[in-house]
Structure 1
Amino acid sequence: MDQTSSENDEAAGAGARPNPDIEGAEREVGVGPWEGPWPEDDRFDPEFLRHGDRRNVIDPYRYWSHEAIVADLDAKRHGFHVAIENWQHDFNIGTVVRTANAFLAQEVHIIGKKRWNRRGAMVTDKYQHIRHHATVDEFLAWANTAGVVVLGIDLFPDSVPLETYPLPERCVLVFGQEGPGLSDPIRRAAHATLSIAQFGSTRSINAGVAAGIAMHSWVRQHAAPR
């Protein structure tokens, strides 16, 4: 089966690693055609069974259809959301989406410009729900209707340390874009703004990194390791 361009990107995103037995060679990513009787389970995709599965997915999802994987993820998603402001085409959004997929966020919300650089997502946007809000007011109206607590992540004089803050199970972690940080409307509307402890010389950390730290903080408080 010929892969689509996105599937090719996904296979590349799995990161082929060198084969230790052959100097300079790369190990093929994923699995080949199914061997033996085909499973009697409609979650499996006949095309993947027939031709192999080279996607960047965890082993339990090998040979499953895309729809089956998303449905399984939807049944287990966590209670937190992530939002990032995108007024100047922030290049961190792809990283945020990829990390949100890893930590199984409910949704990623993009506030501002709808267009964003998908390369950093490494095709995880195919499995992660993403919602666009053209304005801050539109985003805040959604949060109010959904009943989730809005929490800003940024360095302000009145920010509370993320490390000691009890994160609500149903919340949305909001990040400003690289450089400007959180906009004033988000800051004013947030239930609280949280800061990440830093110990070096720089005044801030990358927005994509900050998002990963904040999501993992929620996971540590609410999700059992597996």
Structure 2
Amino acid sequence: MHEERPEVGVGPWEGELPSEGHYDPELLSNGDRRNVADKYRYWSMEAIVADLDERRHDFHIAIENWQHDMNIGTVVRTANAFLAKEVHIIGRRRWNKRGAMVTDRYQHVRHHPTVEDFVVWAKGEGLAIIGIDIFPDSEKLETYELPRNCVLVFGQEGPGLSEEVHQNAEATLSIEQFGSTRSINAASAAGIAMHAWIRRHVFDQSV
């Protein structure tokens, strides 16, 4: 016999229905089985996005998408978890959303058809472009002072970061590795880099 898995989320609201505007009437009636934090149970999607927008961090994430990179969905999901300001897709507009696990509904995603378009936008916003990849001139992510207002850029799986992004980056950073492989999965690298920013600007009380 297989054990039944517990249901995700909560069932219909019990007791007197709340009147606050951020609640979704349909979710109150039918239950909320979404993958959202307990704080947001029964909230409408629009209300959740509005609340997140009040608290988003100052870093952005960008990933190049020239060959339909399968990592993008996971990067979006992680960006949502760390509350990135926006995720930027450079190259092809279409991307596989399966890995995002519906978090793209709560995370702002912007498209840039070319690297040039992306660079113009980033400079116009006053954001430091920080590439994450292994180049001869790459500095160590572990010791680099990540700026508060920046966009962390990742190349696609295989080719890595394009030379055009490399040339336009304020710095390129590598993640120290100790095993036999030369590189790690782009989605994993994105999660490590985002957490490095969080440690620096959210938890470091000396900043």
- Pairwise TM-score range, normalised by the shorter structure: over 0.9
Q: TM-score, normalised by structure 1?
A: 0.88
CA RMSD across the alignment: 1.1
Within 5 Å, which residues of 2 pair with 1:180-219? 180-219=159-198
Residue 59 of structure 2 corresponds to which residue in structure 1? Answer: 80
Q: State yes or no: 1:172 paired with 2:151.
A: yes
Residues of 2 paired with 1:61 and 1:87: CA distance? 35
Q: 5+ residue gaps in structure 1?
A: 1-21
Q: Secondary structure at the match of 2:90?
A: strand
Q: Following TM superposition, by how much is the alpha carbon of 1:26 offset from its aligned partner in structure 2, in angstroms?
A: 1.3
Aligned partner of 1:93 among 72, 77, 83? 72
Determine helix, strand or coil for the equivalent of 1:90.
Answer: coil
SS across alignment from 1:223 = helix
Aligned partner of 1:123 in structure 2 is: 102
- Number of residues paired by the alignment? 204
Counterpart of 2:82 in structure 1 is 103
**Structure 1, residues 75-122: CA drift from partner, whole Å, max 9, x if none?**
000000000000000000001000000000000000000000000000
Q: Aligned residues: percent identity?
A: 69
Moved segments of 4+, more than 2 Å: none
Supply the distance in 2 between the matched residues of 1:55 and 1:127 (Cα, whole angstroms): 12
Q: Does 1:146 align with 2:134?
A: no
**Aligned match of 1:160:** 139
User: Displacement of 1:224 after TM fit?
Assistant: 3.8
Name the aligned partner's letter for residue 92 of structure 2: K
CA distance in 2, matches of 1:146, 1:61: 31
TM-score normalised to the size of structure 2? 0.96
Please state whether the residue corresponding to 2:200 is helix, strand or coil. helix
1:38-74 CA-partner distances (Å, limit 9, x unpaired): 1121001111111111111000000000000000000
Q: Which segment is superposed worse, 187-196 or 32-41?
A: 32-41
- SS of the equivalent of 2:13 reads coil
- Alpha-carbon offset, residue 23 of structure 1: 4.8
Q: Residue 53 of structure 1: SS of its match in structure 2?
A: coil
Question: Structure 2: any 5+ residue segments left out of the alignment?
Answer: none
Structure 1 Cα separation of the partners of residues 24 and 99 of structure 2: 27
